Amino acid sequence: MGAKRVVRRPHPAVRFLAGRYIGYEQDDVTLPLHRGLPSRHVTLIISLRDPVRVRAQTGTVAASGLIGGLHTDPVLIAQDRTQCGIHLELHPLGVRTLLGSSSADLSGHVVALPDLGRPALAQLPDRLASTRSWSDRFRILDEVLAAAVAEPLSVSAELAEGWRLMSDAAGRVRIADVAAEIGWSRRHFAHKFHKETGLTPKQVARVLRFEHAGTLLRRGQVDLSRLAVECGFYDQAHLSNEWRAMAGCSPRTWIREELPFLQDDDILGCPD
C-alpha cells in the first residue's frame, strides 16, 4: 500500500471552524519520530489504529484522539510502522465555538479528547474507526462540527480581521499597521489577540513566516537564500535560526528526513 493521503474541505457551513480534513494511511513508516511543526492551525489528530503518542512541553500524552494548540516549537509524535488516522486543521478563532473556551487554553499543550468534557469529540475515534469509507468519515466530522455551529461563540470582527490580515500576508506585515487597520491601538490588539490565541501577534507572525517557508520547501524551493527573502527573513542565517527554533533541526536536515514523506503529490483528492 505504501503511503496514501485523502484531503477534503469541510462542508461550507463549518469552514470557519476547520480548513481541511486530512486522512492518512501508511504501512511502511521508517522514521520513529515525526516533527509536528508550528502552524496557523490548532491541530486535532484522531488515530484509527493504535493511540497517538506525543511528546510536548507538558510531557507525553497518549490517546486515540488529541488536540494541540498554537505553539512555537516542535511537537514530537511517535510513529508506528503502520498508521491510519485523520488530521483536522482547526481555525484558532473558531475553537471557542467548538470547545466553549478560547484556543489560548490549549496553547503549548496537547490534550486528550476525553479530557475536554465534550462527549461528541470523545466519541469521535470510535465512530470514525467503525467505517472504512473516507467519505463517511468526513461526513461524520461535518456532522460533529455542524452541531457545534448550532450555538456559535464568535470573536470580535476586529480580531477576526486582524487575523486575516496577518494570515494573508504570511506574517510579513507590521503589527502596528494591522492594529491601525482595524482601528485598535497596538497594545489593545496584542492583549486581545494573546487572550484569544495564547500567542502574541509577533509570535504568530513568526509562525506564519516559518509556515510559508515550509510550504515553499514542499514545492521544491531549496535555494535557502532566495527562500529567506521571499518569506520575510533578514537573511539565510535568520531563516536557519528560526527553523532550528521551531523545527528542532536545520532546514536541510528537515528536507532530508521529513520532506520525502510530505510531498503534495501524496494527496489523492480534495473533493468539495
Domain boundaries, the chain: 3-152, 157-260
The whole-number pLDDT of residue 103 equals 96
The Cβ of residue 225 has, within 10 Å, a number of other Cβ atoms equal to: 12
Please tell me the distance from the alpha carbon of residue 38 to that of residue 231, in angstroms, as a whole number: 15
Proportion of the chain above pLDDT 70, given as a percent: 93
The grid coordinates of residue 252 equal 536541510
3 state DSSP class of 255: helix
The whole-number pLDDT of residue 53 equals 92
Residues 6+ apart with CB under 8 A from 64: 46, 47, 51, 52, 113, 125, 126
- Top-level class of domain 157-260: mainly alpha
Half-sphere exposure of 55 (CA within 13 A, CB side): 9
Please tell me the distance from the alpha carbon of residue 64 to that of residue 121, in angstroms, as a whole number: 11
Please tell me the distance from the alpha carbon of residue 245 to that of residue 254, in angstroms, as a whole number: 13
Residue 248's nearest CA partner among 76, 15, 118, 93 is: 76
The whole-number pLDDT of residue 1 equals 54
The grid coordinates of residue 61 equal 500524552
The whole-number pLDDT of residue 262 equals 55
Q: Do 54 and 75 form a contact (C-beta atoms < 8 A)?
A: yes
Q: What is the pLDDT of residues 199-237, one digit of tens each?
A: 999 999 999 999 999 999 888 887 999 999 999 999 999
The whole-number pLDDT of residue 91 equals 97
Q: Enter the CATH code of domain 3-152.
A: 2.60.120.10
Q: Which residues of the chain have pLDDT under 50?
A: 263-272
Q: Which residue has the cell 507572525?
A: 205
